[in-house]
Structure 1
Amino acid sequence: MLINDKRYRSYTFQFLALMVLICLMAFLGWNLMQNLAAAGLNISYSFLGEPAGYDINQRLVEYNSQSTHWRASVVGVLNTLLVAVLGCLMATIFGVIAGVLRLSNNWIVAKIMAVYVEIFRNIPVLIWILIINALFLAALPQPRAFRGDNPEATMLFDAFAFTGRGIYMPKPVIYEGGWIVVAALILSLIAIFVYRRYARKTLFDHGVVIPVLWPSLAILFVPTLAMFFLLGSPIGLEYPALKGFNFKGGIWARGSLLSLWFALSIYTGAFIAENVRAGIQAVSKGQSEAAASLGLRPGRIMNLVILPQALRVIIPPLISNYLNLTKNSSLAIAVGYMDITGTLGGITLNQTGRAIETILLLMAFYLTISLGISAIMNVYNNSIKLKGR
């Protein structure tokens, strides 16, 4: 029998466990359908085509109250992805800086970073979201403070207005030919990536140091600015201006987005800082001493010797930190930021009464995002792991 055959025993038990799991899920699904039928209910997603009937304050695409529930869900998805991407980027910056500074030889700097880590990671993120949102409302002036001949507050460079309602900033306006400049910028960024990889490979293979900073800046700005002026400045800026009781024009980053973004970033950054510290300490001290004996400066030792090896320790727990930040963004409704939980799992659920359908869609969305983040980070993790000969 397969159970007694050592070659196939493990596969046999896995197959049996899979069959039991499938039968269990089938039973739960059948039981759900029976209960719904008994209650005179059915699973239907036709409500997604009905008018939503509510407004969404922060949105990246066109939307109004007469748009469908599906459109409202798309707006919520984009809002969730926006705060998740921005949060992961800023949390990584905070975490790397704090993790490195925790190992500083300066006692004061190291202790300040230790206090930051211990305070922020031991207090629930919801409390930090509420605290930071309250600070934004209390510390920043309202738009009316910018009115008058002697205003209480002024715009920064006549372009940025920091208010309790959010930050108003210039909005890029692309005219004819502007996309060519954008394409030149994208190609410049790709060229910088290729050049830096070439410089690193040359350093590792031949020990020759190729300048990186100034050539990278030249590659970024020279082609882009050349195309910008040759095409007659096809990209302009729309500045915010105070009209009536609020600013009009430009980009409005609402206070709810900023407070949520900042709170998630500094909270998750505290966990990332510990991962960075552990990763750096996992590298043998002899590595840095050997690099120093070759005449490398401390900055180059950290960038070329310590961090590349520490990444093998940092990346696996970093994936969990990114996943936690994305899922913690569902607390956005606490400050009025309309993410997918606030739209599909909040107002849409309450208006339509389709609890099962909306919850299933929410579960599918967060599962997809989590698996996507895990897949991308695992690919990167495999690219930096030690390769056997």
Structure 2
Amino acid sequence: MFSWTPSRSRRGRTATAKEILWQAILLVAIACLVGGAIWNASRSLSQQGVASGFGFLAHTAGFDISQSLIPFRAVSTYGRAFLVGLLNTVGVTVIAIPLATVLGFIIGISRRSPNWLLSRVAAAYVEVFRNTPLLLQLLFWYNAVLAALPAKALESLHFGNLIYLNRRGLALPRPVFQDFGAAWLVVAAAVASLVCLTMHFSKIRRAKTGRSFPVFSANLLIIFGLPLAFYVTVILVTGRSPMQFDMPVMGRFSVDGGLQLLPEFVALLIGLVFYTASSIAEVVRSGLAAVPKGQYEAARAVHLPPGKIMRKVILPQAIRVIIPPLTNQYLNLLKNSSLAVAIGYPDLVQIFAGTVLNQTGQAVEIVFMTMAIYLAISLLTASGMNLYNHRITTVEN
């Protein structure tokens, strides 16, 4: 008896058509739900007489911000206040991530140290800071440590005439680029380009000859040597310094000049660095433990010193295990920075989702913008780390 069955390609096309149909139905359902929620929210706001839309961003803010990376006054707009909060959040995050990474790697490697005292101290650090809520740590640094500093400027803790620390904050030398700001940007771009070229050259050389290239030493020479060469060249040619420093000066009632950092910023930075470093240390320890013991033994057999074993043999293999959970710690640091509102640091949440929301009452737009910013920064960070992880991962055939 003759029977007909569809070919495999036709069955595949039928299955694909069904999948596309179900996905289209799901997208339409999601769009209807989101559209309905937006329509209901708009109708409820209009019935209550609450304005909607993003026109409020052009209105005058009417309040001051204690610390901002860009000029801000009471006559500035809510949009500029949003930008100030965003820059303050990004600024503390960008500073905290490398500090927490360096400290975390030091603590994590110390936990694997054969020195009993060093490994126990590192373990105690991890257990104390990782198992204590970050909010309590921020309150401790702000209310217990910084509040105990001298209140008078003349009694400030100081390191020479460069750094002053008191209850009002931290004063540091502030670089002033004068008329050479654009030239310094060109130098920075040249340094970044040369570093990338050096890494690319090292990769090609290793693939072709199997020989390594001193990337670390070469990059250090580029990072410090090129700006120094530019600095000396400008002085020799123009007779002027392309960069000067605005030094903090001890006044009668306060420390004037320099770069003034609020105590809230200092407490937030210390809290984020110490707390995140404890989690990074555990990530590093687990990554080192994932390297087979035979690698240690083989490196010792060829009489490599312990430092070179760690740099050349163990860390390059462990880093492939470390990067994925390390990305999570970076994202947690960014999101944990929103706890700055507890100690009064003017970050995005404190300024925009706090003061601006209270003044305008436009909760939907403000909360949506705040969440979108955190989501965008998190996705960019994760994408960069995933790209780096993809480049260092060994592809096994």
Matched length: 383
After superposition, the C-alpha distances for 1:179-207 in whole angstroms (9 at most, x for unaligned) are: 53564465346545644665676578656
After superposition, the C-alpha distances for 1:296-318 in whole angstroms (9 at most, x for unaligned) are: 32222222222222122111111
In structure 2, the partner of 1:156 is 159
* Alignment counterpart, residue 229 of structure 1, candidates 235, 244, 257: 235
**For the residues of structure 2 that align with 1:56 and 1:367, how far apart are their CA atoms?**
25
Structure 1 residue 267, shift from structure 2 partner: 0.7
* Conservation of the 8 A alpha-carbon contact between 1:167 and 1:252: yes
Structure 1 residue 157, shift from structure 2 partner: 2.0
In structure 2, the partner of 1:26 is 35
Letter in 2 for 1:159: L
* Conservation of the 8 A alpha-carbon contact between 1:3 and 1:12: no
**CA 1:209–1:47 in 2, change beyond 3 Å: closer, same or farther?**
closer
**For the residues of structure 1 that align with 2:151 and 2:37, how far apart are their CA atoms?**
54
* Conservation of the 8 A alpha-carbon contact between 1:181 and 1:228: no
In structure 1, the partner of 2:326 is 318
1:55-74 aligned within 5 A: 55-74=64-83
**For the residues of structure 2 that align with 1:35 and 1:3, how far apart are their CA atoms?**
48
* Conservation of the 8 A alpha-carbon contact between 2:157 and 2:166: no
In structure 1, the partner of 2:104 is 95
TM-score normalised by L of structure 2: 0.87
1:112-131 aligned within 5 A: 112-131=121-140
Identity across the alignment (%):
37
Letter in 1 for 2:387: V
Letter in 2 for 1:63: F
Structure 1 residue 138, shift from structure 2 partner: 3.3
1:346 and 2:354 matched: yes
* Alignment counterpart, residue 260 of structure 1, candidates 238, 254, 268: 268
In structure 2, the partner of 1:149 is none
In structure 2, the partner of 1:287 is 295
**CA 1:357–1:216 in 2, change beyond 3 Å: closer, same or farther?**
closer
**For the residues of structure 1 that align with 2:276 and 2:363, how far apart are their CA atoms?**
31
1:176 and 2:193 matched: no
**For the residues of structure 2 that align with 1:238 and 1:301, how far apart are their CA atoms?**
44
Letter in 2 for 1:318: L
After superposition, the C-alpha distances for 1:333-361 in whole angstroms (9 at most, x for unaligned) are: 21111011111111111111112221111
In structure 2, the partner of 1:107 is 116
TM-score normalised by L of structure 1: 0.88
Letter in 2 for 1:325: L
* Alignment counterpart, residue 269 of structure 1, candidates 255, 270, 277: 277
**CA 1:360–1:251 in 2, change beyond 3 Å: closer, same or farther?**
same
* Conservation of the 8 A alpha-carbon contact between 2:51 and 2:362: no
In structure 2, the partner of 1:80 is 89
Structure 1 residue 58, shift from structure 2 partner: 1.1
* Conservation of the 8 A alpha-carbon contact between 1:180 and 1:227: no
1:167 and 2:175 matched: no
**CA 1:13–1:128 in 2, change beyond 3 Å: closer, same or farther?**
same
**For the residues of structure 2 that align with 1:295 and 1:198, how far apart are their CA atoms?**
29
**For the residues of structure 2 that align with 1:101 and 1:272, how far apart are their CA atoms?**
13
**CA 1:15–1:101 in 2, change beyond 3 Å: closer, same or farther?**
farther
**For the residues of structure 1 that align with 2:21 and 2:122, how far apart are their CA atoms?**
52
In structure 2, the partner of 1:49 is 58
After superposition, the C-alpha distances for 1:230-261 in whole angstroms (9 at most, x for unaligned) are: 24323211111233422221100111111101
* Conservation of the 8 A alpha-carbon contact between 1:315 and 1:377: yes
SS of 1:155's equivalent in the other structure is: strand
**For the residues of structure 1 that align with 2:309 and 2:381, how far apart are their CA atoms?**
30
Letter in 2 for 1:22: A
**For the residues of structure 2 that align with 1:374 and 1:214, how far apart are their CA atoms?**
28
1:214-225 aligned within 5 A: 218-219=221-222, 220-221=224-225, 223-225=229-231
* Conservation of the 8 A alpha-carbon contact between 2:62 and 2:74: yes
**For the residues of structure 1 that align with 2:139 and 2:370, how far apart are their CA atoms?**
24
SS of 1:162's equivalent in the other structure is: strand
In structure 1, the partner of 2:259 is 251
1:328-347 aligned within 5 A: 328-347=336-355
Letter in 2 for 1:33: S
* Conservation of the 8 A alpha-carbon contact between 2:171 and 2:255: yes
Structure 2 residues without counterparts, runs of 5 or longer:
1-9
**For the residues of structure 2 that align with 1:355 and 1:214, how far apart are their CA atoms?**
52
**For the residues of structure 1 that align with 2:161 and 2:323, how far apart are their CA atoms?**
42
Structure 1 residues without counterparts, runs of 5 or longer:
147-151
* Conservation of the 8 A alpha-carbon contact between 1:275 and 1:314: yes
Structure 1 residue 226, shift from structure 2 partner: 2.7
**CA 1:240–1:335 in 2, change beyond 3 Å: closer, same or farther?**
same
SS of 1:176's equivalent in the other structure is: helix
**For the residues of structure 2 that align with 1:154 and 1:318, how far apart are their CA atoms?**
35
**For the residues of structure 1 that align with 2:295 and 2:386, how far apart are their CA atoms?**
26
**CA 1:235–1:31 in 2, change beyond 3 Å: closer, same or farther?**
same
SS of 1:40's equivalent in the other structure is: coil
Letter in 1 for 2:257: G
* Conservation of the 8 A alpha-carbon contact between 1:59 and 1:79: yes
Q: Root-mean-square deviation (CA), in Å?
A: 2.8
Structure 1 residue 227, shift from structure 2 partner: 2.1
* Conservation of the 8 A alpha-carbon contact between 2:61 and 2:81: yes
**CA 1:30–1:209 in 2, change beyond 3 Å: closer, same or farther?**
closer
